[in-house]
Amino acid sequence: MKILCFVLLLLTGGAANAQRIAAKKGLITVDGQPYARFESDGASTLYISSLQNERLFVVKEMVLPNLVVAGVGHSSGNVRYLQYVFTASHTVVETPFPSTEVYFRSITPARQIYAARLFQNGTLDPKAVADFVTNNGTPFSDRQRQLAPLPATSTE
């Protein structure tokens, strides 16, 4: 009984520290506070802006045809990923598409954007962006270059 109470106490404490991220009506919020703005093309592209409506980067859902993984959890052989293109620097970053997501939703990149702490005081944090680029890189484009005959395509 003591162990059960202790486990419940730990779970309650962990849930209290978790931050609630939402992406609705063109606004990304964290615990109800505005974090960044976004516009969607209605399909697979999000345009991310500062709270002052300055467009900063775009997030696209991309597909890499990869026949090597066909049949190993990916019946079609396609690998989905998110491509971030930072407008000012023309820097490209790629992150894996969460395996728990069935289709592209604005909350998916919103969680990644907040986890990387890309915004500080409503504007893009250059150090966080540099860290994001270093930590993620472009593994899917690198793989695409190895599989040169197969082009990566947007899901639009």
% of the chain residues with pLDDT over 90: 55
Domain ranges (residues) in the chain: 20-154
Confidence grade of residue 13 (pLDDT, cut at 50, 70, 90): very low
Q: How far is CA 52 from CA 34, 48, 110, in A?
A: 11, 11, 17
Q: Say what the pTM is.
A: 0.77
CA atoms of 12 and 9, how far apart (whole Å): 5
Tokens of 61: 């859902």
CA atoms of 100 and 94, how far apart (whole Å): 18
41-59 pLDDT, tens digit per residue, is 888 899 999 999 999 999 9
105-114 pLDDT, tens digit per residue, is 899 999 999 9
Tokens of 26: 């063109």
Q: What is the 3-state secondary structure (H, E, C) of the chain?
A: CHHHHHHHHHHHHHHHHCCCEEEECCEEEECCEEEEEEEECCCCEEEEECCCCCEEEEEEEEEEECHHHECCCECCCEEEEEEEEECCCCEEEEEECCCCCCCCCCHHHHHHHHHCCCEECCEECHHHHHHHHHHHCCHHHHHHHHCCCCCCEECC
